[in-house]
Structure formats: C-alpha cells, structure tokens
Structure 1
Amino acid sequence: MTGTTGPTKVLASGDHFIAPQLFVDALKSAAPGLDLDFRTQTTPWPLTPFGPVGNVKEASGAEDELLEALGDAEIALVQMAPFTEKVIKAAPHLKLIAVARGGPVNVDVEAATRAGIPVTFTPGRNAAAAAEFAVGLMLAALRRIPNSDAELKNGVWRGDYYAYENTGVELDGTTVGLVGYGAIGSIVARVLRAFGSHVLVADPYTDPAKAAADGVELTSLDGLLRRSSVVSLHARVTPETRHMLNADNLKLLPKGAVLVNSARGELMDYAPLPGLLRSGQLGALAVDVYDIEPPPADWPLHSAPNVITTPHLAGATRQTADRAAAITAGEAARFLRDVPLRHVANPEALGGRES
C-alpha cells in the first residue's frame, strides 16, 4: 500500500472468540516496524448468535456500530462484523477487508469489488479442530457415549448395552463415507484410516490421483450412501449442495447407519430425519449445525431417538482463533508491503496487484 503518509489506521473488529487484541498482536508480529494506528471493536458473537445483517448473512453487530468503529480506517481485520453494501459505501478510506473466516460470508463481496477493495479470508483456519470434532461425533454416536453418561447420572446402569444386539460398532473395519474432501475432509480421512476404516469420498472436485495416494475411494454420492455405515458431511454450501441429503437419497443408507453433520445445516433437509430415526432406518444422528440456529424448543429432532446435538462447536478451539488471527494479519501485512495476497475472494478488485 504505497503512497501512504503517517500511520496506517487499522480496525481490529473481533468478538468473544477472536478478541480484537489477537488481531492487534498478530499484525504487530507480522508487520514489525510499520507505523500502525489501531482502533478496536467487539461484536457480541458467540454470546449472541450470528444471523443476517443488512444484505449479508452470518454476521454479528450492527452496521451503524461498525461504521462508528471504522471511522477512517484503511484496513479492517474482522471476524463477524457486517460489511454490508451500506457500510462499504460509507467507508471511502477503506482499502482492505481481511476476514478471519473460511469464507467472507459477512461481507458484500460484490460491493467491495465495485469499490476496489480486496477481501481476503482464511481457508483451513479450523480444519484440524473441525476434523477432530467430526470424528468425536462419530465415536459418540457409534458407542452411545452421551446416552450412557446421561443415563448413569440419572441412576440407570445400562448393562444391556453389552448385549450383542445392543452393542456399539467400531470404526475399525467400518466403511465411512465423507461428502466433501477439502481441508477438513482430508484430515478426517487420515484419522479414520488410522482407525482402520475403509473411506469413501464423494466430491466431484477431488483429483483421483490424490484420492488414490490418500488411500480413499472416490465414488458418487448415491454410491457412497448405499455403502456407508457412517456418513459425515464436509462440503461447502452452494446452490448445488443445498439439501444434497434429502428424503429421496437418505433412504439409500443401509439400515442403522449413522449420519454426522458438523459442516453446515443447509447441506441436508432435516424434515425427514425424525421419521428415519424412529423407524430405525437411521441408527443415530450427530449434528453440530442446524437448519435454524439455535434450533427452537419444539424442534422435532429434540424428541427423536438416538440424536446427539452440540451448539455449533466444531471449530471452537484456541488454536483456531490464534491461527485465524495470524492468517488474517499475514494478509494485511502483505497488503501493506505490496506483496501479493494469498487468499483473495475478489482478485478483480486488486487492480494491478497480482494474487
């Protein structure tokens, strides 16, 4: 960012997961010696759920509060703050929006592009955390860990879980299907292969050579569903993947299969799941994400059998927060030094800068 005189004004907009000071410390470390003037903002997430703000989704805080915090800042390091069209139009000094998330869903990227503002993001920031959590959900569902814990605390000793017909299932030797094979899915596959699972992958963008090298088998989504005793979702939400699991293809699962979703609620239609669980067609369901977040008190799956629910925690580790802040600050440091950026959502906004 050549031609700037005086300190560069930076907004560090964090929350109760990635605190503003994490951004400040990370940028100071990534750009030592640069003259930086920081201002900070804290949005209420995750103590208050994110949601639509203006014309963006999955954001936290209000547009007017963001504009007040932003002032004449040139660089914004953000987690959930709503960079809507309104905010971008009212921020003529802004030159970079660096988002500490896997995708800049809280930014109107088209408005930023029209304003000539590159938007960066942090792919893979929570890959290890989300992969570990997904495997944890599989184990919890296969071995009835949450149910056993709750029942024992209520004074019920479930010795009948040792009866052959009631016992759990090992991952060793089990066929597990992964829908999506990006950063998270590939880590899950590596862990599952260490357990001894046979891993199927449905992902049209996966290189067959990579799949072969990783020891996983590529197949179609329908083929994966027919053959997998456990299915775990790791895809992004797009118009093509929304409700990719639905009443029609969920019936393809082997009777008693386990379904895990720690990716995004929109990937599957939740409506048929209670019936599939009650019939035994679906043996167990473990979910960390929902069609409505948080799910309402009368959500049908609350009363369905063999359901494990967690409140969107897959990426909630300190390492994820530290890693996200570091990647975000690294992009800002490159921008300040006129070094090509690594993770740009809108390269057409870079002008003469190469990504």
Structure 2
Amino acid sequence: MTDPKPAAGATGATTVLASGDHFIAPQLFVDALRTAAPGAELAFRTQTTPWPHTPFGPVGNVKEASGTEDELLEALGDAEIALVQMAPFTDRVIREAPNLKLIAVARGGPVNVDVEAATRAGIPVTFTPGRNAAAAAEFALGLMLAALRRIPASDAELKKGTWRGDYYAIENAGIELDGTTVGLVGYGAIGSIVARVLRAFGSRVLVADPYTDPAKAAADGVELVALDDLLRRSYVVSLHARVTPETRHMLHADNLKLLPQGAVLVNSARGELMDYAPLPALLESGHLGALALDVYDVEPPPANWPLHAAPNVITTPHLAGATRQTADRAAAITAAQAAAHLRGERPEYVVNPQTLDGGR
C-alpha cells in the first residue's frame, strides 16, 4: 500500500521514494540515506508494500514483486531516486516515471525491475550483493545439520509422544560433518562463508563454480572440481549459485543419479537451479537420503505437491535471508549507491553500467 501522506518535495531538494515493506521499512531507507549522504537536500516520499504478509509474485512483466503498478506510480510522483525492496518496476512504470534517474534495489538481484526497460530509459539499476550472505550461509548450515541429524523429524515425533530411541540403531544413526565430503555448487559470497564454517567443522569441501579463481580455492582450502565430479564424491551437496540460462535446472534426473547412495541435498538458493520432478522417486528409493529445501520451483508449493508426502524432506518458507542484520545491511548498501549518485560519482553495484555513460 502507499503510505497516506508522502512527504512533499522542497524547492531544490532531490525527491526520493523509499519503497519498503514489513521487512525493510521505508524509514530504514530514509535513515540510511540521510546517514550516507549527510548534508544532501532530500525530500522523501514513502510506500509500504504488503510483503511478506502477502507473498510476492509476478506483477506486469517482472517477478518476485509486491504491490501494484498503480500504487507504485502514485507513490513515485516526481521522485528522481527510488530506494526499493519489492516494488514492481515494470516497463509501464518506467515509461510513466519521466523524472526517475536511479533505481536502487535492496536485493542481491533486481528481479522486480525490468532492467532492459530501465536501460533503454538511461536509468541505472543498482543491487546489493552480499546483503544476506551471512544469514543465508548460516541457514544452509542449519539445514545440513537438521537433515544429517534428523532434528525436525525427531522433534515432531517427540511432541506426538513417540520417543525415537531407535535413531541410535546404527542403520538409523546420523552423520557428522566432521570428516564428511560436502560439495558446494557456487562459490560466491554465501558459498565461501559456508565453506569456511564447514572446514572449521572438519569437512572436506569440494566446489563447482567455473568463475572461481583456482588460486583462491587453493588458498581457502577447498578443491575446485567439475559439477559431475562433485556430485559423485559428495555425501552432502548444497546449492549457492545464481539462476542464469546456464544454471537453470543444472541438477536434473541424469546427474542427480551420480550422488552417492543416501546423500543429502540442500537448496536454499533458488528453486530454478534444479528440476524437482525426479526428487520424490530418488527419496522413495533411498538413493537420496534426505532433502532440505528453502526454495521451490513454485512458491509457495501447492497442497498436492509430491514432495509433501516424500520421506526425509525438510521444508522452510524461503527464510534464509530473514534476519534483522540483513535488513539493516541491505538498506545501508542501497543507500550507499544512492549517495554516490547524489555526489555525481559512479555507484559501485550497477547491473546496467552502460547507462552511466549517457542516460536521459
């Protein structure tokens, strides 16, 4: 929704839209930009979209967005800068906001922005790499431990009155991370934190990422390998890659069969990285020992989703980045991009840098 009384612009002030939600509040953007650009003459308009109380989804020609185009256009008014989280910057919104000169997005990827439309209009779009790296890394490790040691299942059964002492039977006993080979698919900000903690646990860490410098991998104490080799050798596999045309469904029916018998698969990155269709059969057969998911091919998954009935599945509702520190960090990084723009400098994280040489 649009907050009822957006601040009116003052003569000579730069008008800024702070479009937040119930995770990153508009005021967090306002405070962060005032800190990052002290002395700048700013007039703020604010908007609060309904996420996460209402799930995000496609809006116009963008995805993972919250609110409507009409609400966003009303909130924008004559704003030159937009600090946003989930608001839908569609082709239509960009065409109908002629004063807009910067869209600063508080997300690791600006999927709620039509970047091509912004580029045609000469509008730089910035993003916030690493905003949730610590949170997402910790969550992935939590999912690994939960799956390896049957924590959710034993908790649920004990609450029903069942004491599962038979989990001590050797055929049911868990697996330690200490000494276990763990494969990380993707070695960016999140994957590298996961690797560091896994090595502290005593795990052997394999990494599949064609963009990782072999010298960095060696210095970090991880082994850089091809994806198929990683799948063959890893008892635990965790995904930390971005979705691109090359990575979409990078795990599929054929290469999932390469996993060792009883392996654990964790996906807290993006649902599109894997084909979910073969997973129920792999779990039923025991070839896949456990599956831990925070992301899905359809979000939220439907009530008749086959994995709801499959054995040894842990599911959480896309919560890996849900920490208070992530919200603070995202607002600060986003504000820093806007502050650089206000000073006439080049923002650090721009997805369409060609707009910095021209623009409208």
Which range, TM-score by smaller chain? over 0.9
Secondary structure of the residue that 2:329 maps to in structure 1? helix
Distance 1:53 1:352 in 2: 29
Dislocated runs of 4+, deviation >4 Å: none
Secondary structure of the residue that 2:15 maps to in structure 1? strand
| TM-score normalized by the length of structure 1 | 0.97
**Offset of 1:58 from its aligned partner?**
1.1
CA RMSD after TM alignment = 1.1
2:211 alignment partner AA: Y
Query: In the TM superposition, what are the counterparts of 1:198-277 in structure 2 within 5 Å?
Result: 198-277=204-283
**Offset of 1:299 from its aligned partner?**
0.4
Distance 1:11 1:322 in 2: 18
Return 309-318 or 113-122, whichever deviates more. Answer: 113-122
Distance 2:54 2:267 in 1: 22
Residue 175 of structure 1 corresponds to 181
**Offset of 1:117 from its aligned partner?**
0.8
Return the match for 1:54 from 60, 65, 87. 60
Return the match for 2:335 from 329, 335, 340. 329
Distance 1:352 1:81 in 2: 25
Q: Does residue 110 of structure 2 align to residue 104 of structure 1?
A: yes
Could you give the per-residue CA deviations for residues 4-58 of structure 1, whole angstroms, max 9, x where no partner exists?
9611100000011111010001001111111111110011111111111111111
Residue 125 of structure 1 corresponds to 131
Residue 137 of structure 1 corresponds to 143
Return the match for 1:24 from 12, 21, 30. 30
**Offset of 1:110 from its aligned partner?**
1.1
Residue 44 of structure 1 corresponds to 50
Return the match for 2:158 from 152, 165, 171. 152
Distance 1:172 1:348 in 2: 47
**Offset of 1:352 from its aligned partner?**
5.7
Distance 1:274 1:105 in 2: 29
Residue 192 of structure 1 corresponds to 198
Residue 7 of structure 2 corresponds to none
| TM-score normalized by the length of structure 2 | 0.96
Residue 316 of structure 1 corresponds to 322
1:66 alignment partner AA: L
Distance 1:242 1:34 in 2: 43
**Offset of 1:165 from its aligned partner?**
1.2
Return 53-62 or 210-219, whichever deviates more. Answer: 53-62
Q: Which runs of 5+ in 1 are unaligned?
A: none
Could you give the per-residue CA deviations for residues 273-300 of structure 1, whole angstroms, max 9, x where no partner exists?
0110010000000000001100001000
Could you give the per-residue CA deviations for residues 44-90 of structure 1, whole angstroms, max 9, x where no partner exists?
11111111111111111100100000000010000000001100000
Distance 2:292 2:280 in 1: 12
Residue 278 of structure 1 corresponds to 284
Distance 2:172 2:13 in 1: 66
Q: Could you tell me whether the CA contact under 8 Å between 2:346 and 2:356 is conserved in 1? A: no
Q: Could you tell me whether the CA contact under 8 Å between 2:122 and 2:358 is conserved in 1? A: no
**Offset of 1:113 from its aligned partner?**
1.0
Distance 1:271 1:49 in 2: 24
Return the match for 2:18 from 12, 17, 20. 12
Distance 2:103 2:297 in 1: 29
2:168 alignment partner AA: Y
Residue 64 of structure 1 corresponds to 70
1:11 alignment partner AA: L
Distance 1:110 1:245 in 2: 29
Residue 294 of structure 1 corresponds to 300
2:354 alignment partner AA: E
Secondary structure of the residue that 2:171 maps to in structure 1? helix
1:145 alignment partner AA: I
Q: How many residues align?
A: 350
Residue 114 of structure 1 corresponds to 120
Residue 86 of structure 2 corresponds to 80
Secondary structure of the residue that 1:283 maps to in structure 2? strand
Distance 2:273 2:357 in 1: 35
